[in-house]
Structure 1
Amino acid sequence: MITLSTFEQFYLTIKGNRWYWLFSIFCRVVLAFAFIIAGMVKILGERFASGLSEIHPMGAYLTALHQTGYYYTFIGIAQVVAAVLLLIPRTVTMGALIYFPIIVNIWLLSFAVRFEGSFVTAPLMVLANLYLLVWNYDRLRYILPISKFSDLGIVQKPEKYNTKFPLLFFTGVVLIVMGTIAFARFGYEAMPRISLADCKKQFENAQNGAAGLEFCECIHTAGQPLDTCLKAFEDSGN
């Protein structure tokens, strides 16, 4: 059983390794860049993914969200604030805390409507955000339900980092990325895709090609809800 003391010893090892530190910087920069772009679109009043049809499941959601007025702007401001806080060393923890519920919501939304525009990036961003939260455990632990704190304190940047490459960790990172991409490609039998043509391509030479084409027409031409189109697709295969 892993005790808090064992975890903190492992945590100190990680904090002293240059590769883990560089990965934390990479996560901060990539996450911040993504939210600055997405947030500024909302602040400027433009509909996110404006090229997406309004009858597409994700397009319908984004259109409705765009029409909420200052709530839409507020989301954009929250994203930009979280991004800026991530870029400032002293405020990384606060930025990660603000960022997390927003990106989890985006991840769940992407999976709920099977939106390939963020089907891969959203879960990876959630994991990157979780990494930053763990990286800042020494600060976050004071708000965790821990009855007794150790004398870990705030971990300071070491004078000299350990440069041993954590092969197991980065192998895991690569496998997670590959697994996420594979799931996005093969995880579902039917995906709405971005356009009618792209939707139909996934059913080329497929045994359920006719049902697949009807599914695509249901989404992109009839503008029916995703669940309705999926049910008709599944019933056609029985």
Structure 2
Amino acid sequence: MADLRSFRVKVPIGSLTSERLDSLRCAATVSLISHFPKTLTNLTIDTPGGPSRFKPQMEQSNHVCPLLLNKEILPSLRHLAIRSHNICPELCAVDDSRLQTQLQTLIVNLSMAEGGWYAAVNARYCEEDKYEGKPIYPHMKNLAKSVADRFPAMRTMRLLCINPKTPGSLEICYNVLSDREVLLPDGVLWDDVDWDDTDAEPAPPPNEHSYPDDSDIEASNDGSLST
């Protein structure tokens, strides 16, 4: 354990007995992250199941998002892929002095689709009231574009979602570094770092997979978003 380099946690969606088995509680996830050895370089968290979101009345120490890119927590982290029922812009809102700037891979999957399960189309914000009226995909997309230059070693930076207008369709994959949206082909895993999207089919134009008010969302260089 002391020399652990890679760790992947996968909680399948679609429990037949209890939605609580589809996710990790915030406190459990925080505890897991906090006890990883400093040698960890590759981390995949794939927990798209039922509600487990951080709530304002919870202690701030139970909020997962601000911990993942904090180099004081995971100093050797180079590759992060995450899919969670709840996520928020605070993933990238780490102070520069603590931000893991040597990150080489960041893949965030907002899609909750798995197999035949499409009950929850895309992830929800950790604090929904805080981002009311801001669809999560365009909001996180603008955030990713605004913070990309804070990661000089970044080689792969992707944001994925399900088209909210056609649930069950192929996932949309936004390549932040090339500013290009494509469709994730069948048979390609969402966290496949080696996948080259150069020849992938272009995604539908934004007006076919986003909402009219998406253009009102702007991102600033410090990672904050405003309307």
TM-score by length of 1: 0.24
TM-score by length of 2: 0.25
Higher strand share: 2
Higher helix share: 1
More RCO (CA 8 Å, sep 6+): 1
